[in-house]
Amino acid sequence: MNYLPRLTLILFVCCCVISTTSAAEPKADKKPAKKLDYAIVVHGGAGSSPKSWSAEDRAGREKTMAAALKKGRDILAKGGTSLDAVEQVIRLLEDDPLFNAGRGAVMNADGGHELDSSIMDGSNRACGAVAGVKTIKNPISLARLVMTKTRHVLLAADGADRFGKEMGVKQVDQKYFSTDEQLRDLKKVQQQAKTRDKNGQLLPTKPATHFGTVGCAALDRHGNLAAGTSTGGLTNKKYGRVGDSPIVAAGTYADNATCAVSCTGVGEDFIRNAIAFDVSALMAYKGWSVQQAVRHLIRKKTHTIYGGIIALSHDGSIAVEFNTPGMSRAMADSSGRFEVKLGK
Ligand code: ASP
């Protein structure tokens, strides 16, 4: 019997397997030197480069990001829960008009505001979300109430506002969310949407240059992970449009066995690709580190998603990746790390 062709075939198959494995699996990162007791990562949205903002905006965003990080870090340092840290960090960011969440929620095509938010508990996969709320000052807290006070996961539009009223959360008039800057952005994006090429064809609308959604992932001293996200969505979005931020598995995910994730960017991309869940799935099914998973999703799929991801693994490792010119983010942990970054 001639073994040579068979041997050649076996060698060829082995080479193919080795080369596809190494191409698909990004390089592993170092694990934290010492086991971390707690860790937290926050984002203030992906989008334009901070170089294009005014010095005042840059300073303001940096200051609020640092204050939010400190708030979350202190809760965790004192033995508080990751869920409390996530909720309190996001509430603080929702109250600053420089971020596209709560007070600073962008305008939809009608010049109104519809806010989305979600939160997830990695210890038991409990989750809660609200979509398209119009009167809720801090949607993240209402999302948490959906998780703890109902048997549902997602409440939307008028029903969600009504639930907020029943729960006694702070409600506000739509005017509370409106700023001159949002009106200017809306007009700019609407103007862009009317632009035609020389043949009279409408040009595709460019994504808004500055997103500003907020999110947080935390690991507490009890070993529990949690994640949350809050947004006003995309400027000039169609009335009733719901993005990824209130969709668990798209914009937010947490599972103690793997990681906690919050996403930002063009929501439709994140929904189509179930990105937040995919970070966890790559860790669970392929055994990848959180950095490998996040890097793979952002870098290998640039044609399908536009935005950024923050993720925190059960061992306290933090991963941040984005394919936009900038992404505000902040990280802290029990080793004393405390960092705030706006650009690359
Ligand atoms: N992902 C959000 C949405 O599409 C927007 C953002 O992250 O800036 O609603």
The tens digit of pLDDT for each residue in 282-338 reads: 999 999 999 999 999 998 755 689 999 999 999 999 999 999 999 999 999 999 999
pLDDT for 50: 86
Q: Whose CA is closest to 215, among 339, 92, 59, 67?
A: 92
Q: Is residue 28 part of a domain?
A: no
The domain tally of the chain equals 1
Cβ atoms of 136 and 171 closer than 8 Å: yes
Domain that holds residue 314: 33-195+203-341
> Is residue 117 in contact with ligand 1, taking CB distance under 6 Å?
no
Gap from CA of 344 to ligand 1 centroid (Å): 19
Gap from CA of 153 to ligand 1 centroid (Å): 19
Q: Whose CA is closest to 324, among 341, 304, 344, 340?
A: 344
For ligand 1, pick from 244, 273, 275, 306 the residue to mutate: most ligand atoms within 8 Å of CB.
Answer: 244
pLDDT for 301: 57
Cβ atoms of 246 and 143 closer than 8 Å: yes
Q: Is residue 10 part of a domain?
A: no
Q: Is residue 23 part of a domain?
A: no
| 293: region left, alpha or beta (phi > 0 left; psi from -120 to 50 alpha) | alpha
How far is the C-alpha of 141 from the C-alpha of 292, rounded, in Å?
32
How far is the C-alpha of 311 from the C-alpha of 167, rounded, in Å?
31
Gap from CA of 211 to ligand 1 centroid (Å): 7
How far is the C-alpha of 43 from the C-alpha of 182, rounded, in Å?
20
Q: Is residue 17 part of a domain?
A: no
Query: Other C-beta atoms within 10 Å of 279: how many?
Result: 29
pLDDT for 303: 63
> What does the pLDDT profile of the chain (344 residues) look like in tens digits?
455 556 555 555 444 444 444 445 666 665 666 789 999 999 999 988 888 888 999 999 999 999 999 999 999 999 999 999 999 999 999 999 999 999 999 999 999 999 999 999 999 999 999 999 999 999 999 999 999 999 999 999 999 999 999 999 999 999 999 988 889 989 988 888 777 667 776 555 555 556 799 999 999 999 999 999 999 999 999 999 999 999 999 999 999 999 999 999 999 999 999 999 999 999 999 999 999 999 999 987 556 899 999 999 999 999 999 999 999 999 999 999 999 999 87
Name the residue at shortest CA distance from atom 8 of ligand 1: 211
How far is the C-alpha of 82 from the C-alpha of 197, rounded, in Å?
50
Q: Whose CA is closest to 118, among 101, 106, 105?
A: 101
pLDDT for 138: 98
Q: Tokens at residue 234, please?
A: 């995309």
Q: Is residue 277 part of a domain?
A: yes
How far is the C-alpha of 134 from the C-alpha of 131, rounded, in Å?
9
Q: Is residue 12 part of a domain?
A: no
Active site residues: 213
> Is residue 215 in contact with ligand 1, taking CB distance under 6 Å?
no
DSSP 9-27: HHHHHHHHHHHHHHHHSPP
CATH of the domain at 320: 3.60.20.30
Cβ atoms of 248 and 226 closer than 8 Å: no
> Is residue 213 in contact with ligand 1, taking CB distance under 6 Å?
yes
pLDDT for 14: 45
Atom of ligand 1 nearest to the CA of 47: 8
Q: Is residue 237 part of a domain?
A: yes
Query: Would strands 126-133 and 154-156 be described as parallel, antiparallel, or unpaired?
Result: parallel
Name the residue at shortest CA distance from atom 5 of ligand 1: 233
Question: What are the phi and psi torsion angles at 193 (to 5°)?
Answer: -65, -20
For ligand 1, pick from 42, 211, 305 the residue to mutate: most ligand atoms within 8 Å of CB.
Answer: 211
Atom of ligand 1 nearest to the CA of 265: 7
Q: How far is CA 193 from CA 24, 197, 233, 235, 325, in A?
A: 38, 11, 17, 11, 22
pLDDT for 22: 41
Q: Is residue 8 part of a domain?
A: no
Atom of ligand 1 nearest to the CA of 212: 8
Name the residue at shortest CA distance from atom 7 of ligand 1: 264
How far is the C-alpha of 134 from the C-alpha of 342, rounded, in Å?
29
Instruction: Using DSSP, state whether 217 is helix, strand or coil.
Output: strand
